[in-house]
Amino acid sequence: MALINWSCLDCDYEVSQDAGLLPPECCGSTMRQLPPCDGPHVAESYRQEYADEACDDGVH
């Protein structure tokens, strides 16, 4: 079964779980699903100035 990445809105904790399960909870609130990555991450030197948004690259 496919895995989905989830991120906590309060503490940014991330967890992967099966797609058929209910959204997990963390810090007393429901976590949000990370959007799929729409492109490759940029080079490390660029990342030091501009942070990438968290996304689910589908690789587990």
Hey, what are 59's tokens? 């690789």
User: Whole domain around residue 31: which residue ranges?
Assistant: 3-47
Q: So what's the pLDDT on residue 35?
A: 79
pTM, full prediction: 0.58
Q: Residue-wise pLDDT tens for the chain (60 aa)?
A: 688 899 998 888 899 999 889 888 888 888 888 877 666 655 666 666 666 666 766 765
Residue 27 lies in a domain: yes
Residue 16 lies in a domain: yes
Residue 13 lies in a domain: yes
Q: So what's the pLDDT on residue 19?
A: 87
Q: So what's the pLDDT on residue 42?
A: 58
Q: So what's the pLDDT on residue 52?
A: 62
Total domains present in the chain: 1
